[in-house]
Structure 1
């Protein structure tokens, strides 16, 4: 398993680099062919490479992704290594160890009839090209098992917040900042007003729908030169919501933002991306997983609700029972300390195999 993990991690697969993702897809496909005994169907949509294995009539969907958030060249500063029972490297936790565990789990089963495996190449950037495929497969299956990394301590993820992504563009008017600044409309100043207004939107959403909603301004840009009043400014907003109602309320409030400076204009783009994954979508599957873990002599399973989203949000959103976080045990997704506890990899693979067998 560690050799297979090294093979996947050392093939970098930054989401924004479609050529790198294509190379990664070939490596993942070869590993899957060896362990599953069947070739993958390569699906390229919008330049993004996805992989699909289907055995008989699909009943259970195993879902993961092979793209990562790490830019090409990260291996130079974060090389793959295994030391003192800890594996490190870009994407090792999120989620290449989960892919290895998936392949080894399925390789241990006497039959794969009724199983389909989808490994996408754009999960980290919102699954824009893979969402229709994910939802179509989920509608045809009785269960989805997501091998994304576990929550802290190995807990399975039985709830995830929904995600909305917005971009605000402020249109102002340029002017010389020394000769006649009063003739300009400062898009940067207008954007500052909007950042503060977003705090009011968050407070209003919490008042209307309860706690748990967050709006986080992330990327910002304004201006073209030091001596010019900015005519254009942009802002990205990351929104996390606990319920569909909160997602709808935030959408209405953000689209109701109005400019504060005379003459300024706002364009508000984006919107809901992933619906929330409610615990009711996971309850039965978690009970089955807990029973199987006990039968294997593993530590009692725990469950957690998390703010991060995955493609499991999509499968639950179309009504397919979904259990997430069945992948690696470790920590540090998207962070320098990303790592996997290697001793847990066979245990999680065994649990996944037994769970597939129970719902197959």
Structure 2
């Protein structure tokens, strides 16, 4: 497994580089073919390369889901080499989430007969899955479960709840004028943006776990001109669909505060929430199986970050996330995987797939 992880990590795959993602997909495809005994379907959507294995046509279907793209630019291996020391594997993308792919291949290979399993490996998750969302949702529909091989939360906790995500851009238009000679003739887009930023930030509800965060901001052209335009981005994280709808309605209802200004809002919900109810039964089954295997008790975590598990939960498929690597440092200089955790985690995944298939792989 360690050798396989190193092989995938060395196939650099920044999401925005279509050629690099295609080359990485070829490496993943070859590895999966060797372990699963079947070649994947290669699916290219908007230039982005995804892989799908459909193993048999059993009456019960289980989706095993992951991605092979990373946030790391080409050349990152030069500064963050893939290496193992004292039981810790490091390298760009090892934790998020190339180790999870290796675990999936080894778990399914250990079971042998896996009639009814679909394995979907996408190539644009780190961008928000713009080309693969419909593919994920279609593959998840009708499955008894979706098992997401994203990395675990702190201490190896499974991710039983993820916030939904909405993203917006608020654009403001005013009217330019000379800031020294006749500022009164202008309509100041910067002032309008300031009003809107405060109104947007006020939509947050900490008690409900709703965050509404104005982020990237820009306005104006020169220091002596009343700004005629401006814009800012908004990141929204919510725990339930009702909150997502409330914030969406409020953002679309924004009105100008400065006379003569115009406000436009684009964007919207990007990922539905993965609620605790979507994962509860699967987490309970995983706990029971961990006990049978003699593993330490499982823990659960609710996290703010989203994954493709949000999409599978959004179509009504029971979803359990964070089944992948134990380690830390996703997207950061200290990204790492604890190799000693791999055997137990992989055994748990195999047992869970077998259980969900009704024991057909035994």
Give the corresponding residue for 2:360. Answer: none
TM-score, normalising length from structure 2? Answer: 0.93
Give the corresponding residue for 2:320. Answer: 323
Q: Give me the CA root mean square deviation.
A: 1.6
Show structure 2 runs of 5+ residues with no match.
358-362
Which is further off, 319-328 or 166-175? 166-175
15 and 230 in structure 1: CA distance in 2 versus 1, 3 angstrom threshold = farther
Give the corresponding residue for 1:4. Answer: 4
Does residue 1:286 correspond to 2:283, yes or no? yes
Does residue 1:313 correspond to 2:310, yes or no? yes
Q: How far apart in 2 are the matches of 1:339 and 1:176?
A: 54
Which runs of 4 or more aligned residues in structure 1 lie more than 6 Å from their structure 2 counterparts after TM superposition?
none
Tell me how far 1:101 sits from its aligned partner.
0.8
Tell me how far 1:179 sits from its aligned partner.
4.3
Show structure 1 runs of 5+ residues with no match.
none
Q: How far apart in 1 are the matches of 2:88 and 2:136?
A: 32
Which is further off, 313-322 or 228-237? 228-237
Which is further off, 43-52 or 222-231? 222-231
Does residue 1:218 correspond to 2:220, yes or no? no
TM-score, normalising length from structure 1? Answer: 0.94
Give the corresponding residue for 1:271. Answer: 268
355 and 267 in structure 1: CA distance in 2 versus 1, 3 angstrom threshold = same
Tell me how far 1:245 sits from its aligned partner.
0.8
Does residue 1:155 correspond to 2:157, yes or no? yes
Number of aligned residues: 355
Tell me how far 1:185 sits from its aligned partner.
2.6
Which is further off, 300-309 or 228-237? 228-237
Which is further off, 172-181 or 151-160? 172-181
Whether the aligned pair in 1 keeps the contact of 2:201 and 2:214 (CA below 8 Å) is: no
Tell me how far 1:229 sits from its aligned partner.
3.2
In the alignment, which of 185, 189, 192 is matched to residue 190 of structure 1? 192
What per-residue deviation string (whole Å, max 9, x for no partner) do you get for residues 280-305 of structure 1? 21122112111221222211111111
Does residue 1:244 correspond to 2:241, yes or no? yes
**Map of 1:1-360 to 2, 5 A cutoff?**
1-57=1-57, 59-203=61-205, 210-360=207-357
Tell me how far 1:244 sits from its aligned partner.
0.8
186 and 287 in structure 1: CA distance in 2 versus 1, 3 angstrom threshold = same
Which is further off, 4-13 or 93-102? 4-13
